Structure formats: structure tokens, C-alpha cells
A and B are shown apart, each in its own frame.
Chain A
Amino acid sequence: MKIYLDNNATTRIAPEVLDAMLPFLTERFGNPSSFHSFGSDIMDDIEAAREKVAALLGAHAEEIVFTSGGTESDNMALIGAASINPLKPGLVISRIEHPAVIATAEYLKNRGHPLKISDVNSDGTLNMSSFESCISEQTGIVSIMMANNETGVIIPVKEVARSAHEKGALFHTDAVQAVSKIPVDVRSMGIDMLSISAHKLHGPKGVGALFIRKGIEIPPFMLGGHQEKGMRAGTYNAAGIVGLGVAAELASRHLLEENGRTGLLLDKLESGLLEKCPGAVIACADAARLPNTATVLFRGVESEAVMTLLDMEGVCVSSGSACSTGENSSSYVLSAMGIDALDANTAIRFSLSRYTTGREIDYVLEVLPPIIEKLREISPYAR
């Protein structure tokens, strides 16, 4: 039995999504840009997918550009927005952004764009006074994620967008983890650009989208053909885009009910772990979080050792550990919250999906406590 609780890394493709994609990988292989109807008919499917993605975000279809995923969307938004107004070259991000945003912002910084990075609070929320002090008249683009991938903490982007707009800056949000888990409405939230990725919402890998509010003109990101009104050249990934469309439709349909159910399972997991594992602490316990994400510090016990033993029981999770990636530093997200390396290296992330069952949670609550106990017995930090 495999129990997959690493849905913030990626999700399984929903069967409905796969069914919808298959024809585009088999008989309907035409190029949507072709003149003949064998190809051009596929453009209708792509436009239908665009409508579905737009509906999930409260956007208009013409505001959606298909990309290869969240990373490309983030690159396109930041690099594009940074080039709009030479009088406002500044960028503002936070310490807990996804590497796709951080690396792009650093790239732009090296090309002369002043970069300000906002601190976060110890509970993982955005430090609003630090954030406000980062924005200035010079700021052209603010990019703050809607929800953090490690902690699940939800950032009140509406407030952030308002502050950005007060200084005349554009507001981009990486909503890769948030979309499908919490309601998103680009209009009422005041979002100018928003990144999503299909494989985080039971769609396929290799496809995503960038919402660009009507009226915002950013330069093309990928140069070549005229696809996506010239904004993003390259032959359409028809199967992927159709898959994203269906995944978005399913996400809209399941948004309230399924996330409510997932939230209850997460509560059960958290309270069970707190009760059964000495030293367990839920990160950001009091902050508003995604209904599917919990990062738990099993203090005194190194997380890769826990993951290794959990893997042997068929349970897949991820960690904030330095050792698991071969990198010599622990999670920058937890570190930004003031959690020291010793505790950060005990962090295990559980991320659920609408396919997670109560029995799976029961199983984890059965196998994990003895693992923690076994490792605590030989840990010098467990007392």
C-alpha cells in the first residue's frame, strides 16, 4: 500500500483529466495552428480549456496565457513586469517565495533592478510593516505568494495588492499551491498577474497558466510563432492544456465540499500526532492555512530518518531537512520564521488531496508514533 501525502509536490492525475487528454495524444494529434480542420478544430478545445481556467480564477478567458507550468509563469510575470516602466524598476518579494520567484528576482536584481525582500512573522504570515517598508514609489512589481508550499500559510493578498497599487506597482501572486484549495477571485482580490500549475491540482505536469489582467502589456516571454497572441510562442501542448482545463473544472466543482473534507482529515492527523508523538509541534498552528497542508516539527528527531522509515511503511511525505536534498542548509522558509536549523531539520510536511482517505490517516497515526519513539530513544536532543 502506498499512502501519498506529498500533494504539495505533485498530485495524481484525476481519471477524468486523463480521459480528456488521451485523444490528443492519440488520434487528435493535429497542430491547433494548422489551417486544415484536423488541426484547427483542436483550437476549440484549447479555448474551452481557457474558459475553464478563467472560471476557476474569476478571470476572462482572454486574460489567460498557457505556459509550461508554475515556474515559467513566475518567470514570465516578473521578467515581463520588470521591463514595463523604467521609472519603476524595483521589485518586492518575500523571504518565503518559491524558488521560481526568488531566483527570477535575483536575476533581475543582477540586471540592475532594486530588490527588496519582506520578512515574515514567526507564525509564517507576511510581516506587514516589513512589507510596507519595502514598497516605494520606485517599486514596479510586487510578487507575494498566495499560500506557502511548506507551511500552507495563506497570505491575505487582497491587502498586499492594495498596498502595491497605492504605490502604483503591479501585483503578481504565485498561487500554485492556493488555487483549487481556497477560493480565488482575481477581481475582488485586486490581482494583476497570477501563476498556476496543472500538476498541483490533479492535472498533468508540464503545463500551467499565467493570468494577466486585461490592460497590462508585458513583452512576449518565449519568442517564435504567433501562439497565445504572440505572448508565448511554441506549438500548443494540446493534451496538457485540455488536461489543465478539466482539472480546473473539477477543482471549481470540488472546491468547497472536498476541501472541507480534506480539512477535517488534516485536523484529525494533527491532533492525533500531537497526542501520540512527544515533542510534536505544528508549525504555524495559529495562522490561517490551506486545508491540506501541515508541517510538523518532531523535535529531537531528524526528519530524513523519519522519512526513510515512513517510506518503508509505504507513506510518502516530504521534509524541511537539509540532508534529504544533499544541500547543506535547512528550509529557508522555516528559517525565515526564526526556527533554528536544529528544529527545522525535524520538520515533516504532510500534504493531503481530495483523494486522501480517513483510513490512510489512521494508518499514518498507527505507524508514525513508534517511528518517532524509536528515533527519540537514540537522540541526544529528545529530552
Chain B
Amino acid sequence: MWKYSKKLMDHFMNPRNSGQLLNPDGHSEIGSPQCGDAMTLDILIDDTDRIEEIRFMTFGCAGAIAAASALTDIAKGKTLEEALGISNDQIVEFLGGMPEEKYHCSVMGHEALSSAINDFKQRRDNMAEHLESILSEMHDDLAAALGKGSISIEHVHPIRVCVRISDGEDRSVTAVLEKELRKRTGKKVKVSIAH
């Protein structure tokens, strides 16, 4: 048996944030078939770029499960930049130490997190691209809804966007944008308005 700390055993026996999210903003699946460990990570990101929810699934030893649990505990509530800065040493320290041979278990969590964040950013970029092209094409019904007002992007998220308008009717603008975004992304996108 490895000499595991009490805290590590606690995270192994009672993993925090295990499971999956139904509609994650970012998802990653990583694994090394050679070592035999694998994990999935789901994240929900709020509009201030903080990790609102995080869930993991792990195929691995006690050390791998505990490291994944610890990572989610540390990452929850952090901004994306802060979360990317979580180091393996931090996870090991959080767990009260780990046998040296098991350090590689903590690496997987870090990899999964940065991959899930990348996935989130990619989804966000895709959404931004769709929105930008809708605004630049400025079809008749969007122009009609805006009247003489102008429109700019306030905030983009993979499943919701916020635009700023100087004039025009909120309800017609959101209706037009939601319809256009649904057509292009195949998903229901929530549009909100800032003035």
C-alpha cells in the first residue's frame, strides 16, 4: 500500500464535484492508455469568467481520484486565468503530500482543466464569430429592429450573448438575434441587451 495522507484518502473516499454536467460550457476528455488513467472534466463559466460549476469523472487509482477531486475543489470559484495557474505542486500540497511515484496522477487534472478551458474559449470564439458576422451583415429585419440605433458586442459566452444598443426595441433585437444565432449554431442562444 502507498502511504497516503488522511486528506488524500478523504478525497478518494468522498470525492468532491464528481459526475458530469448536462450542458457544460467546457468539456475535456484526457487519458493515457499506457498508464491506464483517464478523466473527463465539465465546467460552467459565469459572465465574470469564473468557474461556477465543475465536475469530474476519473478512471484511476486512489491518488488520481483524489488529485482530480482536489483540483476541482481548488478551481471552483476561480477565474479562468487563476485556474490555469493551479500547479501540480499546489494539488499535492492541498492533499497533504503524495508518494513521489504518484505525482503523475496530479498532472492529469491540470491537463484536463486547461483542455476544458480551451474548449470553453473555442466555443466562445465560435459564438463571437457568428455574432460578429450577423452584425456586420446587418440584414433587413435587424436593421428594422434597430431603427437608427447602433449595436455592439458587450459579452460573449458559448450559450448566451449580451449586446449593447444605443436605440431600438429590445424585444425585436433579441428576437432577431436569437433566431439568427439558432439558425447558425443549431442551438438555443440567449440574447440580452445592455443600454
Taking Cβ atoms with an 8 Å cutoff, the residues of A that contact B are 300-302, 304-305, 308-309, 311, 321-324, 326, 328-330, 340-342, 344-345, 377-381
- The 22 sampled A-B contact pairs (Cβ below 8 Å) are A301-B59, A302-B36, A302-B37, A304-B61, A304-B62, A305-B61, A305-B65, A308-B61, A308-B62, A309-B13, A311-B1, A321-B36, A322-B35, A322-B36, A323-B36, A323-B63, A341-B36, A342-B33, A377-B18, A377-B19, A378-B15, A379-B57
Q: B61–A321 contact, CB under 8 A? A: yes
**When the two chains form the complex, which single residue of B12, B13, B33, B57 contacts A380, counting CB atoms closer than 8 Å?**
B57
Q: Which residues of B contact A321 (CB under 8 A)?
A: 36, 61
Q: A305–B12 contact, CB under 8 A? A: yes
In whole angstroms, how far apart are the Cα atoms of A178 and B18 in the complex? 44
Q: Which residues of A contact B161 (CB under 8 A)?
A: none
Q: A381–B59 contact, CB under 8 A? A: yes
Q: B39–A380 contact, CB under 8 A? A: yes
Nearest-neighbour CB distance to chain A for B30, whole angstroms, equals: 10
**When the two chains form the complex, which single residue of B29, B36, B57 contacts A378, counting CB atoms closer than 8 Å?**
B57
Q: Which residues of B contact A324 (CB under 8 A)?
A: 61
Q: A340–B33 contact, CB under 8 A? A: yes
In whole angstroms, how far apart are the Cα atoms of A330 and B15 in the complex? 25
Q: B36–A344 contact, CB under 8 A? A: yes
Q: B60–A302 contact, CB under 8 A? A: yes
Nearest-neighbour CB distance to chain A for B112, whole angstroms, equals: 11
Q: B35–A323 contact, CB under 8 A? A: yes
Q: B35–A308 contact, CB under 8 A? A: no
Is residue B38 within 8 Å, beta carbon to beta carbon, of the partner chain? yes
Nearest-neighbour CB distance to chain B for A277, whole angstroms, equals: 16
Q: Which residues of A contact B36 (CB under 8 A)?
A: 302, 321-323, 330, 341-342, 344-345
Interface of B is mostly: mixed
Nearest-neighbour CB distance to chain B for A322, whole angstroms, equals: 6
Q: Which residues of A contact B64 (CB under 8 A)?
A: 302, 305, 323
Is residue B40 within 8 Å, beta carbon to beta carbon, of the partner chain? yes
Q: B15–A323 contact, CB under 8 A? A: no
Nearest-neighbour CB distance to chain A for B13, whole angstroms, equals: 8
Nearest-neighbour CB distance to chain B for A204, whole angstroms, equals: 24
Q: B35–A380 contact, CB under 8 A? A: no
- Chain B stretch 1-42: residues in CB contact (< 8 A) with chain A: 1-2, 4, 12-13, 15, 18-19, 29, 33-40
Q: A302–B40 contact, CB under 8 A? A: no
Q: B60–A305 contact, CB under 8 A? A: yes
Nearest-neighbour CB distance to chain A for B14, whole angstroms, equals: 10
Nearest-neighbour CB distance to chain B for A297, whole angstroms, equals: 12
**When the two chains form the complex, which single residue of A305, A330, A342, A379 contacts B62, counting CB atoms closer than 8 Å?**
A305
Nearest-neighbour CB distance to chain B for A377, whole angstroms, equals: 7
Q: B34–A341 contact, CB under 8 A? A: yes
Q: Which residues of B contact A326 (CB under 8 A)?
A: 101
| New A-B contacts (4) at CB < 8 Å, excluding given A328-B34, A377-B18 | A302-B37, A302-B64, A311-B1, A378-B57
Nearest-neighbour CB distance to chain B for A99, whole angstroms, equals: 19
Q: A378–B65 contact, CB under 8 A? A: yes
Nearest-neighbour CB distance to chain A for B57, whole angstroms, equals: 4
Is residue B115 within 8 Å, beta carbon to beta carbon, of the partner chain? no
- Residue of B19, B35, B101 with most partner-chain A CB within 10 A: B35
Is residue B174 within 8 Å, beta carbon to beta carbon, of the partner chain? no
Q: Which residues of A contact B59 (CB under 8 A)?
A: 300-302, 342, 379-381
